[in-house]
Amino acid sequence: MSIRFDERVAIVTGAGAGLGRAHALGLAARGARVVVNDPGVATDGTGASGSVAEKVVAEIRAAGGQAMAHSANVTDMAAVQDMVDQAIGEWGRVDILVNNAGILRDKSFSKMTLEDFRAVLDVHLMGSVHTTKALWEHFREREYGRIVFTTSSSGMFGNFGQANYGAAKTGMLGLMNVLHHEGAKYNIRVNMLSPTAATRMTEELLPPETLPLLAPDTITPGLLVLVSEDAPSKMIMGAGAGCFAEIKVHETLGISLADADLTPEGVAAAMARIRDANGQVEMPGAFDQTRKYAQMAAHRRGQGGPWKP
């Protein structure tokens, strides 16, 4: 069955170039009305030019789609709220939010200023909080919402010189996990996209021979699934060069210690068993881990059966 977005309204942040532009064009091509958000800043967040958003809007309209531009900086909650209000005023609703806006201020942690650390967190993490907060009650009232946070392998797996970026991108993981639970009964589905693409933010970091393979539009098909009617929820989708995978956080089966064994030395001696991947599982929620530990401890004392995933 074809995935379409007819009558749907989407907001895409950072949509003036790169991944955001590809996402906005992809949504519009399948019928969505799109708010193209971009203040037109440089990759480090300085300067501003609203014309980049207008150019993408012109592309969408030239292809027969509907779009409007908004230059809100996602760090400014009042500007974000104005963007949401304008979208609802124009089209009566918003159904989809793609949090894509971002900046880079890379340096090793020893050389990174706190100003640069906060600036990156403000755009990536707090910017995503602002846009989501501005739409959350709207989604709840309409009992429909599709949200995607753009994370990164720099956060999931680590990358030298990107402590601020990695922290911001991984912070979205906790936000997604909680909003998945809070939004479930309102048909709000929340996912993360972890893309690898050749954009103005990454082209200097990637080997030149890989750049033709990593075009942003090779990632957008995955994004469109994550915001579709039948989207999953609480999924981290890795994407790049037409390749797609799921990234998961697992917990090993682990061990249970007590009495004389419950010491730092006991933990250290059991480290190989603690880290053994056999039997590892993904935890559905925070208290699933609590129940697991309680059941393991009870079993150790002969008070119950073993914990089973």
Within the chain, how many helices (H) and strands (E) appear? 11, 8
Strand order in the sheet with 145-150: 66-70, 33-37, 9-13, 96-99, 145-150, 188-195, 236-240, 243-247
Residue 13: which of 101, 111, 95 has the closest Cα?
Answer: 101
Which two tokens mark 179? 């909003």
To the query of whether residue 144 is one of the catalytic residues in this protein, the response is no
- Cα separation of 49 and 292, whole Å? 52
Please report how many Cα atoms fall inside a 13 Å half-sphere around the Cα of residue 247, on the Cβ side.
18
- Count of CA atoms in the C-beta half-sphere (13 A) of 299: 12
Out of 144, 165, 186, 293, which one is annotated catalytic?
A: 165
Catalytic residues: 165
